[in-house]
Structure 1
Amino acid sequence: MYTPKAFQETDRDTLYQFIRDNSFGLLVSTGTDGIPVATHIPIELQPDAAGKLQLVGHLSKANPQGRLLGNNTPALAVFSGAHSYISSSWYDHVNVPTWNYLSVQVTGQTDILSDDEALEVLRRQVDKYEAHSKCPVSVESMTEGYVRKEMRGIIAFTMTIDTIQGTAKLSQNRDDKNYQNIISELRQTGHAGASELADEMAARRP
């Protein structure tokens, strides 16, 4: 991922937390014909048996990409956060428009999980997303037997974290006056993503 130095996010803990907070990612791999294939899925950051962080997820068995994920297959996972258009009119001088955004990309190798391993991944995933439900469900409440039956239709995988790159393009290269004006304009758009981006910018340069 090309990222100018001013916009590089390098703190590992920050990158890992970004993945946890923005776990609906894009999994990209290359087919046998050399053509890239991609699927939008939840991809979780979880420790392996040795405590090393890895990515985990699952695809439908009907998805052809699932057949590409075994035997240490190279893959790319893309996680996107808040983003917004930045208008030229928001500067006190002539400038081109741009786009501010937050993103993390991970490269690594995938392998297929056993049924027991896949069940544990699903258990953690359900617990995570049900945590704030009014009537939370779990693997136990659905019954393990039922979940294992439904698991026949999925392929669960792990992905090593060989490289991780973060981009926080947040107008860091602008002076304080223009930086604060961009924050103000973002908040006036009324768009949730723009407001979230403004909050991130304000936190980084109060």
Structure 2
Amino acid sequence: MSNYPPKHHQDSNKEHLIEVIKTYPLATLISVGNNQPFITHLPLILENDKLIGHIDIYNPQTPFLKDNRDVTVIFSGPQCYISPSVYSTTQLPTWNYIKVHLKGKVKAIESKSALKQSLITMTEFLEAPEHNYILEPDNPRMERNLDYIKMFEIDIVEWEGKFKLSQDKNPKDTKAARAHLIKTNQDSIKQFLDKVF
């Protein structure tokens, strides 16, 4: 880990990072090809220190997700603005957030049977805990789409947790900032959806 962000905003506990990945699996996948960056947002599932994903064959990033190329992946947890009014002590405005940055090597998985099983496994994971839907192996819609999806895996070579949660404040203010983060995320989703839809 680098010296930025400050040590008290870094988390090297791998179990904490895994929990972020499992709870917020929609990732930002960044790679470089033809001297330009490519960015895609897609769910990635962690299996034995590898991230497994699927991408549309027409996505311009797809050709660069092979050959042991370098990629960066960002998982984003909750985040919000923290007003000085949240604290019991004099502070400046700030932003709290949880992020996990991973670097790795990507390779394409060409096996159709592996792709099919991976789609079933990912669906099972994302449907937990209720499992209201089961993607059956003989699902005709899945079969028709297998030619339009590429599977890839990423070997993780570097883990970095960025947990900026007012840890440098006194315990009362840290607790207040945490409560504000929870409330703001719950309220902001409703407010945003009410405005947009």
What's the TM-score once normalised by structure 2's chain length? 0.84
How far did 1:191 drift? 3.7
Counterpart CA distance in 2 for 1:134 and 1:118 is 21
| Cα contact 2:84–2:92 (8 A) shared by 1 | yes
CA distance in 2, matches of 1:44, 1:168: 21
The answer to whether the 8 A contact 1:83-1:193 is kept is no
1:192 maps to amino acid = Q
Q: What SS does the corresponding residue of 2:61 show, helix, strand or coil?
A: helix
Q: Does the C-alpha gap of structure 1 residues 185 and 39 become closer, same or farther in structure 2, counting only changes over 3 Å?
A: closer
Distance in 2 between the 1:123 and 1:151 partners? 12
- SS at 2:121 equivalent: helix
Query: TM-score, normalised on structure 1?
Result: 0.81
Displacement of 1:177 after TM fit?
Answer: 3.2
Q: State the Cα deviation string for residues 45-76 of structure 1 (Å, max 9, x = none).
A: 013xxxxx200101101101001111011101
2:127 counterpart of 1:130? yes
State yes or no: 1:101 paired with 2:63: no
Q: 1:63 to 1:193 in 2, by over 3 A?
A: farther
Kindly tell me the number of residue pairs found equivalent between the two proteins: 185
1:139 aligns with 2:133: no
SS at match of 1:179: helix
- Contact 2:71 2:106 (C-alpha < 8 Å) held by counterparts: yes
- 2:193 aligns to what? none
**Structure 1 residue 181: deviation in Å?**
3.5
Aligned to 1:70: 66
1:102 is aligned with what amino acid?
I
SS of corresponding position for 1:172: coil
| Matched residue, 2:54 | 58
- For the 8 Å contact 1:46–1:56, the answer to whether it is kept is yes
Inter-partner Cα distance in structure 1 for 2:177 and 2:17: 24
**1:1-206 superposed matches below 5 A:** 2-32=4-34, 34-47=35-48, 53-114=49-110, 115-133=112-130, 135-140=132-137, 143=138, 146-186=141-181, 191-192=185-186
1:69-93 CA distance string (max 9 Å, x none): 1101110110000111001223344
Shift of 1:116: 2.1
Q: Deviations over 1:127-164 (max 9, x none)?
A: 11233457422233xx1565233111111100010001
The question of whether the paired residues in 1 share the 8 Å contact of 2:26 and 2:42 is answered with yes
C-alpha RMSD of matched pairs (Å): 2.2
More displaced, 88-97 or 23-32? 88-97
What's the secondary structure of 2:156's corresponding residue? coil
Partners of 2:178 and 2:50 in 1: CA distance: 35
Distance in 2 separating the partners of 1:162 and 1:183: 31
**Gap runs ≥5 in structure 2:** 189-197
